[in-house]
Amino acid sequence: MKRIRLWLIDLTILQQFFAITFLIFINLFLVFFIFVKPKVEIFIEEQMYSYLKSSGDSFITAYENKHLIYSHNIAHILYNTKENKIVNNVVASVSIDKIINSTSYQGKIEDVKGDVLYNKIDVKNDIKLISILDSEYFYSYRKDIFSNLLNTLLLIIFCIYVFWFLWIRTIVLPLNKIKEYVKMIKNDKNTTLNIHRRDEIGQLAREIVDLNNELIKQNNIKEEMIQNISHDLKTPIATIKSYAESIKDGVFPYDTIEHSIDVIINHAERLESKVHNLIILNRLEHFNKIENKKYKVEMKNIIESVILNMKFIRNDIEIETFLDDVFYLGEAESYRILVENLLDNALRYAKNKITITLSAEEIVFFNDGNKIDDEIIGKLFKMYEVGISGKFGLGLSIVKKIASSFGLSVDVFNVEEGVKFIVRKNK
């Protein structure tokens, strides 16, 4: 069975269909000739014996009433066992002695043409009626029965084969369309896939089409994002280069060397931040592909540490905290990045106040900035999507990746006083 299974999986579906059909046909014929045919032969003989007995009873009734009846298939012989002779004028084609000497009242004896069936009936005194069925009729009748059974079986098999073949075609044809579609999109060729089915094949086709559309969309956004990032990186690099060259020539673009160097440092920090986000994103891609271990992390300490390091960015913003002493499963450095990005986002848009709440089930970052447009709010966490300010930010997509890797969800909501970002444990 294992060899047959291994052989089948190397075949196409149509080849598997023909192979399985052949095996089924072979098994059906084996069952027919090994099990069905012997039982049918027994049934036919029983019917023939019944036919002989019924015909013999009819013959006796007619004979007693001085009537003569004839049958082309059955010879009725009245035999006197005491005188050992045939009473009626019938020529026996078989050995009567074998039948008379047999203790069985029904049976078979050999004839020149084959087996002959007989039936004995005690009439009166020493007279017995021996009814003999013609061998040609017996074999002809049995042949017709088997021929009809075999033809019926072949017809049923043919009908099953046709319906099964048509059903297999309804599977193979759409699968071939899907295969060609995948091959075309693999070679970056424009194509369409139209499979109007509601079953699993139709669902698979729709999922593949949706996946291809999403990949096309992501590739387009990614290309645009790369162009924008290249421009964002090019600007601080060009500024740093031009300011450095000016200072080298003794020219200070911002009046004094200190102010000019501050501009260089500011652009270097912007450049460092962008490169840092790209490195983090790449690290997370690798981190999610390998089996990562999760540890108990003190979230309160991480949030307090991040606030201490970042609150100088905007000294005019009040940061209020409500932090419980709780542990989250994950990796400390990744949680630090998550909190940094959410706090950095809040500091960027807050007007006066940020509130951070930590509990065993969720972390909430609230800022009193402007509400987010509904068109943007649904795709804030998607990689390569345009952010609130119209730029291709990576911070929130990094937050989403970290949260997902640790079994958390992250959502954003507009509230009456501002905006809330909520990181919560999945139930």
The C-alpha atoms of residue 3 and residue 264 are separated, in whole angstroms, by 72
- Whether the pLDDT of residue 384 is over 70: the answer is no
- Whether the pLDDT of residue 386 is over 60: the answer is no
Task: In the chain, list all ranges with CATH 1.10.287.130.
Answer: 200-288
Residue range 291-425 forms a domain whose CATH class is alpha beta
179-183, 185-189, 422-426: least confident range: 185-189
Helix (H) or strand (E) holding 407: none
74 with 52: CB under 8 angstroms? yes
271 with 320: CB under 8 angstroms? no
Task: Supply the pLDDT for residue 392.
Answer: 46
Could you give the residue ranges of the DSSP H alpha helices within 187-298?
A: 200-248, 257-289
Query: For the stretch 240-257, what's the b/e string if a residue is b when 16 or more beta carbons lie within 10 angstroms of its beta carbon?
Result: beebeeeeeeeeeeeeee
Residues contacting 59, CB < 8 A, separation 6+: 69, 76, 129, 131
Task: In the chain, list all ranges with CATH 3.30.565.10.
Answer: 291-425
Task: Supply the pLDDT for residue 308.
Answer: 87
pLDDT tier for residue 282 given thresholds of 50, 70 and 90: low
Q: Which amino acid would we find at residue 83?
A: E
Q: Percentage of the chain with pLDDT > 90? A: 13
86 with 96: CB under 8 angstroms? yes
pLDDT, tens only, 302-332: 999 989 888 777 888 999 999 999 999 988 8
Rg (CA), the chain: 48
Task: Supply the pLDDT for residue 363.
Answer: 94
Residues contacting 211, CB < 8 A, separation 6+: none
Q: Which amino acid would we find at residue 90?
A: V
Pick the CATH number of 200-288 from 3.40.50.300, 1.20.210.10, 1.10.287.130, 3.40.1260.10: 1.10.287.130
Task: Supply the pLDDT for residue 385.
Answer: 57
Residues contacting 426, CB < 8 A, separation 6+: 407, 408, 409
Q: Quote the DSSP letter at residue 312.
A: G
285-294, 351-360, 374-383: least confident range: 285-294
Tell me if the pTM is above 0.85. no
Task: Supply the pLDDT for residue 390.
Answer: 44
- Whether the pLDDT of residue 355 is over 90: the answer is yes
Task: Supply the pLDDT for residue 339.
Answer: 92
The C-alpha atoms of residue 10 and residue 12 are separated, in whole angstroms, by 7
pLDDT, tens only, 226-281: 766 676 677 678 878 887 888 888 777 777 788 778 778 877 877 777 777 667 76
pLDDT, tens only, 83-141: 888 877 766 667 777 788 788 888 888 776 677 888 888 888 788 888 888 777 778 88
29-38, 79-88, 366-375, 411-420: least confident range: 79-88
